[in-house]
Amino acid sequence: MSDVVTITREGAVAIVTIDNPPVNAVGQAVRQGLWDAVTTLEPDTQVEAVILACAGNTFIAGADIREFDGGSMEPWLADLIDRIHSSAKPWIAALHGTVLGGGLETALGCHYRIADRRTKIGLPEVSLGILPGAGGTQRTPRLTGAAAAVQLVTTGVPVSAEKALEFGLIDRVTDDLDADTMTLAQHAAGQPVPRLDPAPAESNLSQDDWDNLRKQVEKQARGQLSPVRAFDAVRLAFETPLAEGMDAERDIFMELKETDQSKALRHAFFAERAVGKPAALKSGTPRDISRLAVIGGGLMGSGIATAALSAGYTTTIVEQSAEAATTARERVAGNLASAVKRGKITEEARDATLDRLTTTDDFDAVADADLIIEAVFEESDVKRAVFDKLATAARPDAILATNTSYIDPTTFTSQVPNPERIMGLHFFSPAHIMRLVEVVRTPDTHPDVLATGFTMAKKMRKVAVLSGICDGFIGNRILGAYGRMAGYLLEDGASAAQIDGAMKDFGMPMGPFEMFDMAGLQIGYSNRKREAATRDPQMRYSRIADLIVEDGATGQKTGRGFYRYEQGSRAALPSPETEALISAERAEKGITPRSFEDSEIVAMLHAVQVNEAAKILQEGIAERPLDVDVVKMMGYGYPRWRGGPMQEADARGTAQVLSTMQSIADADPGSWHVADLLQEIGGKNGRFADLNT
């Protein structure tokens, strides 16, 4: 018998237990163990029912995703499930934890399913760019009908045990899984074994209904293939017998598995876990922290405090006045009220969370904090004043973090004793929603401090990425190159609408100019004015954004920026004033506007991001290309089914990316320099992924 699948017996009931930590993935060893268990139990006349259960935190949470690139090994999961379903004895699946993908499919091959009340049950395969490949698209519809099957399969979002019961996916929900499973097994023993009807599933949907449903799935997929192809598989369950449907499902699975989208989505899955284990953390031990303090209860500070409170930390917000402290509490309460409204937390949980919050104007309240995050106004002098006070008000061992999107945390190390406890934490707004946080290390930051930052972020259900120090850290530095190139393309003849449209077709949630208008043009204008004296005179400078601001238009909030906005609407409309201003500037610079292909715009905007990322990697600001990918996906809306700019570069071919970047630099050597790392990898059409070890 295998060491990941064991059989025990209680009277006439056999209990097959899988023990394959951490998530009981149904990899080859588990499949072989289950295959052998069926072979052992089928002829055993002493056994009249079989319970399938898992040790640890969860029932099977899916196939082993790592096997997809290595070629599946027999026994195939679909064949194993068929064999279980054909058994002469009833199999009862005892579900707990997160029953996902191949885990649910294995349970659907059993004859009964009983779940602990807290279980989450789903078919998330589309989030990996594939579809349920072991019968999920064929058995689910025969149990739940069309609407639930389409929802489960094409969204990939798990449902509660109660909802699964309502859908007909499981037979029972229990608060005592072991006892009730055994009772169920004993009742089933010796009874006729229920079989799934192999005839096509029944639905009252018309051809038009199906076609409209597919259009909805396509719209929600936003360019991703798998939800739409998974829909096609589900639809087949209503038109063909089970065996035929299974064959079609397998064909679609094999088709999707080889797509760049699926490779990107599998990369994203593992990358957002790998970022939490940078080499720099190997020597770090996280400190045990429970009490946080946040200096500044504005939008960022109250968002950070909300995330901290929701993660279970006792949190104090320190503001400059009693009324500001009260406002901060109201902001946190508002954030939590929204979570209640969205059904994310109960009212009781909200109240318990708020009980952990203290808001005050007494700076000395930081005295018992284990970790303090300053989130005051993004100006060095304002932050310096806070660190001056922290130097004496905070415990000498308290970790001090500065929430900043571009200020070098080293700025503050001379102000406090034990500077090794300082790090930067670049939270993304809104901080209680956005999952990304860039953890910025100074040359002094202690590995334990970094490890504590990563542990805190994970507890906040955030994804932390380690960054060194440069202007904009990882994400905003790459955004800078992206925005600069977009400005040049605008000046050279492409319209804002064409550039934005091309990037939305690429999969971005919005284009650069819609994004600038939404964020507001004033901050960028002020930054550029401050940097004017030190700007490289060789670098091309596009004044268009400055001219728009000087024309009194600073974006969506004022009704005009790069676009015009009707009162109360966010729809970006052409702005004749802005277009006239752009034409005048082109004339002023003697630029004859030229036309661009969308593909050229996308290639150029992608190339400059990869080039900047290559420099960031060369400089050691980011450890691996996957760190860059995760920052762009989690913080900037980069389409997950492209896996981030570095994965996209590998998919396009790095030689191609190098060629585009070389052309950009040749045309404007004062503004662009091809990164050595891009030269090296692109020169041999290598893969950035090879640096992700």
Residue type for position 314: T
Show contacts with ligand T1G in window 586-645 (CB under 6 A). none
Angle at the Cα of 495 (from 492 to 500), degrees rounded to 5?
A: 120
Decide if 604 contacts 484 (C-beta within 8 A). no
Q: Tell me the closest approach of the beta carbon of residue 610 to ligand T1G, in angstroms.
A: 26
Q: Tell me the closest approach of the beta carbon of residue 66 to ligand T1G, in angstroms.
A: 5
Structure tokens at 257: 């598995």
Decide if 325 contacts 333 (C-beta within 8 A). no
Say whether residue 145 binds ligand T1G (CB under 6 A): no
Structure tokens at 623: 């450890």
Q: Name which of 116 and 125 has its Cβ closer to ligand T1G.
A: 125
Q: Which DSSP letter does residue 564 get?
A: B
How many residues form the binding site for ligand T1G (CB under 6 A)? Answer: 25
Task: Identify any residues that bridge with 436 across adjacent strands, giving them in sequence order.
Answer: 463
By rule CB under 6 A, what string of x and - marks binding of each residue 260-289 to ligand T1G? Answer: ----------x--x----------------
Per CB under 6 A, the list member of 13, 14, 105, 601 interacting with ligand T1G is: 105
How far CA 59 is from CA of 76, 94, 173, in Å, comes to: 19, 8, 15
Say which residues have a Cβ less than 8 Å from residue 580's Cβ, sequence separation at least 6.
none
Give the whole-angstrom CA distance, residue 642 versus residue 268: 9
Q: Whose CA is closest to 54, among 196, 185, 181?
A: 181
Give the whole-angstrom CA distance, residue 614 versus residue 625: 8
Per CB under 6 A, the list member of 98, 240, 315, 556 interacting with ligand T1G is: 98
Q: Whose CA is closest to 253, among 135, 130, 129?
A: 130
Per CB under 6 A, the list member of 33, 90, 102, 524 interacting with ligand T1G is: 102
Applying CB under 6 A, which part among 39-47, 93-101, 202-210, 436-444 lies near ligand T1G? Answer: 93-101
Give the whole-angstrom CA distance, residue 684 versus residue 675: 15
Q: Name which of 226 and 316 has its Cβ closer to ligand T1G.
A: 226
Q: Which DSSP letter does residue 560 get?
A: B
Q: Name which of 163 and 504 has its Cβ closer to ligand T1G.
A: 163
Say whether residue 77 binds ligand T1G (CB under 6 A): yes
Give the whole-angstrom CA distance, residue 429 versus residue 449: 23
Q: Tell me the closest approach of the beta carbon of residue 25 to ligand T1G, in angstroms.
A: 4
User: Minimal CB distance to ligand T1G: which residue?
Assistant: 62
Q: Tell me the closest approach of the beta carbon of residue 104 to ligand T1G, in angstroms.
A: 8
Give the whole-angstrom CA distance, residue 141 versus residue 238: 8
Q: Name which of 22 and 70 has its Cβ closer to ligand T1G.
A: 22
Angle at the Cα of 574 (from 571 to 580), degrees rounded to 5?
A: 150
Q: Tell me the closest approach of the beta carbon of residue 125 to ligand T1G, in angstroms.
A: 5
By rule CB under 6 A, what string of x and - marks binding of each residue 7-46 to ligand T1G? Answer: ---------------xx-x---------------------
Q: Name which of 100 and 407 has its Cβ closer to ligand T1G.
A: 100
By rule CB under 6 A, what string of x and - marks binding of each residue 114-143 to ligand T1G? Answer: ----------xx--x-x-xxx-x-------
Q: Name which of 59 and 565 has its Cβ closer to ligand T1G.
A: 59
By rule CB under 6 A, what string of x and - marks binding of each residue 57-76 to ligand T1G? Answer: ----xxxxxx----------
Say whether residue 100 binds ligand T1G (CB under 6 A): yes
Give the whole-angstrom CA distance, residue 37 versus residue 16: 7
Show contacts with ligand T1G in window 180-219 (CB under 6 A). none
Residue type for position 154: T
Per CB under 6 A, the list member of 101, 245, 286, 635 interacting with ligand T1G is: 101
Q: Tell me the closest approach of the beta carbon of residue 309 to ligand T1G, in angstroms.
A: 21
Q: Name which of 21 and 443 has its Cβ closer to ligand T1G.
A: 21
Decide if 231 contacts 252 (C-beta within 8 A). no
Decide if 105 contacts 81 (C-beta within 8 A). yes
Q: Name which of 246 and 339 has its Cβ closer to ligand T1G.
A: 246
Q: Tell me the closest approach of the beta carbon of residue 364 to ligand T1G, in angstroms.
A: 38
Give the whole-angstrom CA distance, residue 3 versus residue 33: 8
How far does CA 205 lie from the centroid of its chain? 34
Q: Which DSSP letter does residue 45 get?
A: T
Q: Name which of 133 and 284 has its Cβ closer to ligand T1G.
A: 133
- The residue count of the chain comes to 693
473 burial level (CB within 10 Å; 0-12, 13-18, 19+): buried
Q: Tell me the closest approach of the beta carbon of residue 434 to ligand T1G, in angstroms.
A: 18
Applying CB under 6 A, which part among 55-63, 140-148, 523-531, 663-671 lies near ligand T1G? Answer: 55-63
Binding site residues, ligand T1G, CB under 6 A: 22-23, 25, 61-66, 77, 98, 100-102, 105, 124-125, 128, 130, 132-134, 136, 270, 273
